[in-house]
Structures are given as structure tokens and as C-alpha cells.
């Protein structure tokens, strides 16, 4: 697998500017390896769009991958309590009833 180019949207760059320096350094260290592995262990596909999320401490990094163009675009970076408000959520799978057992009416 070749290297991917990481692009950071202006809005994500603005969000990075408001993060404390010690956390910012760790976030940048978490984004850099995406060049070599855009779907690292622990990344999670989000349900709303073709986007992924990785965690760094209390912060979340939301990005998309264009395999054809070998690019990664970082859309959002923020605290876990704020990152999903009005946007994307992780995919959750709810177990369904089996053979009618457990159905509610």
C-alpha cells in the first residue's frame, strides 16, 4: 500500500487551534500515521457518511478516505462530548429478534 496524502479542512485546522498544546501534539502524532495506514486498528466507520473516526484520549478525529486518489481528508477534530453534535454517529448494531422471540407489540 502506497502513501496517502493527508489534507486538513480549514474548519478542522481552526478546531486544532483551540486544543491545548499537550493534547494537540498527541493528536498530530495520531494523524500522521494515517499516511501509511488509513484504517488503523481502533478506527471506526461512521454511519452518516463514508467517514471514519479515530480516538486520541478525550478527542476524536473524523476523516474520509479516497482510495482511488490516495487522499485522506480530516473533517473534524474535537472533544468527545462535542464532536458528534449535528453530524455523524458511529455505526451501532442492535440485535434483532430471532424467530419472533422477544418481539414487542
pLDDT tens-digit series, residues 19-70: 999 999 999 999 999 999 999 999 999 876 789 999 999 999 999 999 999 9
pLDDT tens-digit series, residues 78-94: 999 888 775 555 545 55
Q: Give the chain's domains with CATH numbers.
A: 5-79 (3.30.2310.20)
Measure the CA–CA gap between 2 and 17, rounded to whole angstroms.
30
pLDDT on residue 63: 96
Amino acid at each position: 500500500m502506497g502513501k496517502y496524502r493527508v489534507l486538513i479542512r480549514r474548519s478542522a485546522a481552526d478546531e486544532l487551534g483551540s486544543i491545548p498544546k499537550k493534547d494537540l501534539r498527541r493528536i498530530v502524532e495520531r494523524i500522521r500515521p494515517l499516511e501509511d495506514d488509513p484504517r488503523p486498528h481502533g478506527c471506526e466507520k461512521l454511519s452518516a457518511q463514508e467517514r471514519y473516526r479515530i480516538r486520541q484520549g478525550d478527542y476524536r478525529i473524523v476523516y474520509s478516505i479516497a482510495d482511488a486518489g490516495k487522499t485522506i481528508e480530516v473533517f473534524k477534530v474535537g472533544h468527545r462530548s462535542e464532536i458528534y453534535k449535528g453530524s455523524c454517529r458511529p455505526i451501532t448494531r442492535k440485535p434483532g429478534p430471532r424467530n419472533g422471540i422477544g418481539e414487542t407489540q
